[in-house]
Amino acid sequence: MNLQDIEETTLDTLEPGEKARITKVRVKGTARRKLMDMGMVAGTEIELVRNAPLGDPMDYNIKGYHLSIRKEEASQIFINKL
Protein backbone atom coordinates (compact mmCIF):
# COMPACT_ATOMS: atom_id res chain seq x y z
CA MET A 1 0.00 0.00 0.00
CA ASN A 2 1.44 3.37 -0.92
CA LEU A 3 0.67 6.74 0.64
CA GLN A 4 -1.89 7.62 -2.07
CA ASP A 5 -4.00 4.62 -0.98
CA ILE A 6 -4.34 6.00 2.56
CA GLU A 7 -7.32 8.32 2.67
CA GLU A 8 -7.60 10.84 5.48
CA THR A 9 -11.07 11.25 6.96
CA THR A 10 -12.57 12.34 10.26
CA LEU A 11 -13.20 10.35 13.43
CA ASP A 12 -17.00 10.66 13.22
CA THR A 13 -17.01 8.54 10.02
CA LEU A 14 -15.81 5.35 11.77
CA GLU A 15 -18.24 2.44 12.09
CA PRO A 16 -18.40 0.39 15.32
CA GLY A 17 -15.45 -2.02 15.45
CA GLU A 18 -13.31 -0.02 12.97
CA LYS A 19 -9.85 1.15 14.01
CA ALA A 20 -7.88 4.18 12.90
CA ARG A 21 -4.76 6.19 13.64
CA ILE A 22 -5.14 9.85 14.58
CA THR A 23 -3.34 12.28 12.26
CA LYS A 24 -4.52 15.75 13.40
CA VAL A 25 -6.62 17.24 16.21
CA ARG A 26 -8.33 20.47 15.08
CA VAL A 27 -10.56 20.92 18.16
CA LYS A 28 -10.22 24.43 19.65
CA GLY A 29 -10.19 25.80 23.19
CA THR A 30 -10.31 23.90 26.46
CA ALA A 31 -11.81 20.82 24.81
CA ARG A 32 -8.59 20.43 22.79
CA ARG A 33 -6.47 20.44 25.92
CA LYS A 34 -8.73 17.90 27.65
CA LEU A 35 -8.69 15.57 24.65
CA MET A 36 -4.91 15.77 24.35
CA ASP A 37 -4.50 15.10 28.09
CA MET A 38 -6.59 11.94 27.60
CA GLY A 39 -4.27 10.70 24.85
CA MET A 40 -6.03 12.01 21.73
CA VAL A 41 -2.80 12.93 19.92
CA ALA A 42 -1.38 12.26 16.46
CA GLY A 43 -0.16 8.70 16.01
CA THR A 44 -2.49 7.14 18.57
CA GLU A 45 -4.63 4.14 17.56
CA ILE A 46 -8.35 4.48 18.30
CA GLU A 47 -11.43 2.24 17.82
CA LEU A 48 -15.11 3.17 17.73
CA VAL A 49 -16.89 0.93 20.23
CA ARG A 50 -20.48 2.19 19.79
CA ASN A 51 -22.69 5.16 19.11
CA ALA A 52 -25.43 6.39 21.44
CA PRO A 53 -28.96 5.58 20.16
CA LEU A 54 -29.27 8.98 18.46
CA GLY A 55 -25.64 8.90 17.23
CA ASP A 56 -24.24 11.36 19.76
CA PRO A 57 -22.02 10.96 21.80
CA MET A 58 -19.67 8.36 20.36
CA ASP A 59 -17.78 5.87 22.55
CA TYR A 60 -14.15 5.15 21.62
CA ASN A 61 -11.48 2.83 22.97
CA ILE A 62 -8.17 4.67 23.19
CA LYS A 63 -5.10 3.45 25.07
CA GLY A 64 -7.16 0.81 26.88
CA TYR A 65 -9.97 2.98 28.24
CA HIS A 66 -13.31 4.24 26.97
CA LEU A 67 -13.74 7.86 25.99
CA SER A 68 -17.10 9.34 24.92
CA ILE A 69 -17.01 12.54 22.89
CA ARG A 70 -19.55 14.55 20.94
CA LYS A 71 -19.92 13.98 17.23
CA GLU A 72 -19.04 17.64 16.60
CA GLU A 73 -15.65 17.17 18.33
CA ALA A 74 -15.07 13.88 16.49
CA SER A 75 -15.63 15.66 13.17
CA GLN A 76 -12.61 17.87 13.93
CA ILE A 77 -10.22 14.97 14.55
CA PHE A 78 -8.56 13.59 11.42
CA ILE A 79 -7.64 9.92 11.03
CA ASN A 80 -6.36 7.26 8.68
CA LYS A 81 -8.46 4.09 8.86
CA LEU A 82 -6.48 0.90 9.58
What are the tens digits of pLDDT across the range 24-75?
A: 999 999 999 999 999 999 999 999 999 999 889 999 999 999 999 999 999 9
Report yes or no: 76 and 10 within 8 Å, Cβ to Cβ. yes
- DSSP H or E stretch at residue 36: helix 29-37
Give the integer Cα–Cα distance in Å for 28 and 59.
20
Phi, psi of 53, rounded to the nearest 5 degrees: -50, -35
Averaged over 3-11, what is the pLDDT? 78
